Amino acid sequence: MTLAPLTPATPAADQTAATGTSSECTIPVTGMTCAACSGRVQRTLEQTPGVRAANVNLMTGSATIEYDPGSTSPGALVETIRATGYGAELPPAEVDGESLLESQDRARAEETHDLKRKFGVSIVAAVLAMIVSMPLAEAVPSAVPDPLMHLMMPVNRAIRALAPWTAGVSPGTWRYLLLALTLPVVGWAGRHFYTRAWAAFRHHGADMNTLVAVGTGSAFLFSLAMTVAGDWFTAHGIVPLVYYEVVIWIIGLILLGNLLESRAKGQTAGAIRRLIGLRPATARVTRDGQEVEIPLNALRPGDEVVVRPGERIPADGTVLDGTSHVDESMLTGEPEPVTKGPGDAVIGATFNRNGAFHFRVTRVGADTVLSQIIRLVQQAQGSKAPIQRLADRISAVFVPIVLSLAVLTFVLWFDFGPEPAALRALAAAVTVLIIACPCAMGLAVPTAVMVSTGRGAELGVLVKGGEALERAARVDTVVFDKTGTLTEGRPAVVEAVTVPGGPVHDDTELLALAAAVERLSEHPLAEAIVEAATERGAVADEAREFTSRTGHGVEALVGGRRVAVGNRALMEDMGVHPGALTAQADQLASEGRTPMFVAVDGRAAGLIAVADPVKASSAGAVARLRRLGILTVMLTGDNRRTADQVGRAVGIDRVVAEVLPDGKLVEIRRLQGEGRVVAMVGDGLNDAPALAQADVGIAIGTGTDVAIDAGAITLMRGDPMATVAALALARRTLGVIRQNLFWAFVYNGIGIPIAAGVLYPATGLLLTPTMAAAAMAISSVSVVTNSLRLKRFAA
């Protein structure tokens, strides 16, 4: 099995695509906080000459761009992104996925630290502003009663009692004091909102920063005018009210929301971090007969490594000597330790339980299974689910519409609101702008995809991306390939019957002849016959003129005799009459065994019965799928009776037997024609066409290789229960995405009209700008927290 060519998860990777005329690069982008931000960067990139396609991901903070190297370059693309007001760095060349994660972690830690400082300053300023506002509110009552201010009134009375001189301070002085408290918040802690909004505006773009900047900026400028020209306003009959504390609270609460969001985003990459943490720092190699401990990056393919009990295996390789039990659960999800002996493959980062052994290193660094998994998960986490398009489409038009609504709100309050109408109009317009920030909408889908793909990797389920996850959630029919999927895939000969007076003397000769032919076949049943013949020491001449009849059997010349091994159809084709063997074959098939007819020189020679035991978890997995309302189908090239017997044993809904390899594809098309969303579970190599035809191809990996190119989902272990885990995880993820989107839309759908004051005429209910800021912070944090629930998903 092979690994598909991957879109580089590395920021630096700038690789020429297969066409030779297109290149791709991934550039980390900082400062994006909402769907409108990522949408704007994406649109700008898409409009840039030389760019063929761009995918900007809010969660991973990166832009993957396909471009024409003759027209533009990664350096120019970085400049294009910076011009939109967001940060972008051209990363150093040859950075792998793990270094990327480290640099992302560092950037996130710096961002969190920066946000903490800014939030700290803002919250101190907000509390002080609240205290300073109280004597002012007593002297000049606010247009809109603020419940927060109301709660603080006992504090005001306490201050008055402790410092009676405060009663003598003029309102103008209080206003200047509030201005002094607001300046560091507006000029430093919240400065990035204004700079980014301005950069967006210059490019005809609007995002969350625009809403915050316009909302707080208008409140600040209004308050500044009232402070500087308070006497003039008073002289003209206008009460000089200020909204400084509102500006500080809004910026403080939005920073708090960003801070919590940044921390939660960090947790979503936890699965990748745990995978990287599995790798030991050093390896003990044998050099010149001596055991030497070397750093992991000094390990090379061909090195002989010693692994002791309780140690992690440092790289992929093949056991040379010694036996042990190895816990591979961290990569394959397989709970039982796997016995390893000479010739067996071992996977780097898995845990050696009780024995000591030597192994030869076959793959190191980026080629190891662990590195492939990490890369695939990172790639999947950066991909977009189709459902995201809905959020993207809305966010693209959302902010200008909200700006229009805010203006309309202002006009309606000014024209029809109670006095002081201008002040109420300003407060309502600012509240609309603040409550409408589309942060939750932007985080709804990517956070869920990221947590889900990470959790999947921990369970041994590798999902190719958001699209695969979404399709898997809609699956209503699961088609299993029988051999190796529902059965062990290691058939063994259980019976050999010869025809009395036939062309062979005994079952040893029968096996010897059959094995001579089957030795040239790659069919799993052939292996069983060859193995049985070897065990019995049944040897025949080498086969010549071998021909394989797909779906029927094989034939060849063995020691001058024409030997054919296959099913009843093969015998009929060759004009061989099985006679009494037919009844015996039926009997064996009804017992779940696969009878194979053997003919020698055109005469029936005997029967070889092969049985492939059903996996212990198959019946349980099928039952679980049926409980999920999924139709289960088993496809097999095996005869009807054997297939029915296996089908009954595992409780499958439909059994389709005697299917030629091409027929699997036809059967899947037929199910799709019935309007079913079909998942095909099978071997990544033999069933590749059927996996590709299915809506969701689920390839069973061997644990030592990652056959991700074969299917949308790869199971790292051959346990059918992993199929249930994959589909259940996909369903749960789509459920979480729907919840997130529902709440994000409901939040804005309900929040904006209430902020505009639709409930005021009937109930007198009106939100304050501070309440809107708190609600906005809560909405984005609740979306991320909801997605993090997927970390606890258990199949």
Partner 1 sequence: MTTSQLLVTAGGAAAIVWINYYFFLAGRRPAAPAESDSGGAQQS
- Catalytic residue chosen out of the listed positions 14, 146, 303, 481: 481
Instruction: Give strand pairing partners of 697.
Output: 680
Q: How many helices (H) and strands (E) does the chain have?
A: 27, 27
Residue (49 or 154) nearer to partner 1, CB = 49
Find, among 693, 89, 37, 740, the residue nearest to 443 by Cα.
740
Residue (204 or 670) nearer to partner 1, CB = 204
- Count other Cβ atoms within 10 Å, centred on residue 160: 15
Shortest separation between residue 203's beta carbon and partner 1, angstroms: 7
Backbone angles phi, psi at 492, to 5 degrees: -130, 145
Transcribe 79-109 into DSSP letters.
HHHHHTTSEE--PPSS--HHHHHHHHHHHHH
Helices assigned H by DSSP within 320-368:
329-332
Q: Is 297 left (phi over 0), alpha (psi -120 to 50) or beta?
A: alpha
Shortest separation between residue 71's beta carbon and partner 1, angstroms: 8
663: CB partners within 8 A, 6+ apart: 551, 635
Residue (153 or 407) nearer to partner 1, CB = 407
Find, among 741, 208, 750, 258, the residue nearest to 433 by Cα.
208
Q: Which residue type, as a one-letter code, is found at position 568?
A: R
Find, among 640, 721, 195, the residue nearest to 461 by Cα.
721
Shortest separation between residue 66's beta carbon and partner 1, angstroms: 17
* H/E element, 470: helix 466-473
Residue (151 or 411) nearer to partner 1, CB = 411
Which residue ranges make up the site for partner 1 (CB under 8 A)? 47, 49, 71, 203-206, 397, 399-400, 403-404, 407-408, 410-411, 414-415
User: Residue 547 burial by CB count (10 A; 0-12/13-18/19+): exposed, middle or buried?
Assistant: exposed
Shortest separation between residue 395's beta carbon and partner 1, angstroms: 13
* H/E element, 294: strand 290-295
C-alpha to C-alpha distances, 473 to 271, 458, 505, nearest whole angstrom = 21, 19, 57
Q: Is 90 left (phi over 0), alpha (psi -120 to 50) or beta?
A: beta
The DSSP code for 443 is H
C-alpha angle with apex 385: 455 to 719, nearest 5 degrees? 40
What's the alpha-carbon Rg for the chain, to the nearest Å? 35
Taking the C-alpha atoms of residue 618 and residue 17, their distance in angstroms, rounded to an integer, is 42
Backbone angles phi, psi at 67, to 5 degrees: -140, 165
Residue (39 or 465) nearer to partner 1, CB = 39
689: CB partners within 8 A, 6+ apart: 661, 662, 664, 665
Shortest separation between residue 204's beta carbon and partner 1, angstroms: 3
Taking the C-alpha atoms of residue 517 and residue 542, their distance in angstroms, rounded to an integer, is 8
Shortest separation between residue 483's beta carbon and partner 1, angstroms: 54
Residue (44 or 268) nearer to partner 1, CB = 44
Residue (49 or 343) nearer to partner 1, CB = 49
Q: Which residue type, as a one-letter code, is found at position 652?
A: I
216: CB partners within 8 A, 6+ apart: 186, 190, 193, 247, 250, 251, 430, 434
Find, among 431, 407, 429, the residue nearest to 770 by Cα.
431
Shortest separation between residue 758's beta carbon and partner 1, angstroms: 18
Shortest separation between residue 396's beta carbon and partner 1, angstroms: 10
Residue (281 or 407) nearer to partner 1, CB = 407
Shortest separation between residue 397's beta carbon and partner 1, angstroms: 7
Q: Which residue type, as a one-letter code, is found at position 98?
A: E
Tokens coding 410: 């202002």
Residue (52 or 116) nearer to partner 1, CB = 52
Find, among 615, 646, 652, the residue nearest to 631 by Cα.
652
Taking the C-alpha atoms of residue 685 and residue 691, their distance in angstroms, rounded to an integer, is 9
Shortest separation between residue 753's beta carbon and partner 1, angstroms: 17
Shortest separation between residue 38's beta carbon and partner 1, angstroms: 17
Taking the C-alpha atoms of residue 147 and residue 149, their distance in angstroms, rounded to an integer, is 5
Shortest separation between residue 415's beta carbon and partner 1, angstroms: 5
The DSSP code for 68 is -
Residue (399 or 440) nearer to partner 1, CB = 399
Instruction: Give strand pairing partners of 604.
Output: 599
Q: Sign of dihedral through CA atoms 748, 753, 757, 763?
A: negative
Shortest separation between residue 4's beta carbon and partner 1, angstroms: 33
Taking the C-alpha atoms of residue 333 and residue 351, their distance in angstroms, rounded to an integer, is 13
Note if 481 is an active site residue.
Answer: yes
Residue (425 or 533) nearer to partner 1, CB = 425
What is the β-pairing status of strands 477-481 and 678-683?
parallel
Residue (108 or 203) nearer to partner 1, CB = 203
Find, among 501, 503, 493, 498, the residue nearest to 559 by Cα.
503
Q: Which residues in 394-499 belong to E strands, given as ranges?
A: 461-463, 477-481, 492-498
Residue (60 or 748) nearer to partner 1, CB = 748
Q: Which residue type, as a one-letter code, is found at position 388?
A: Q
Please identify every residue annotated as catalytic.
481
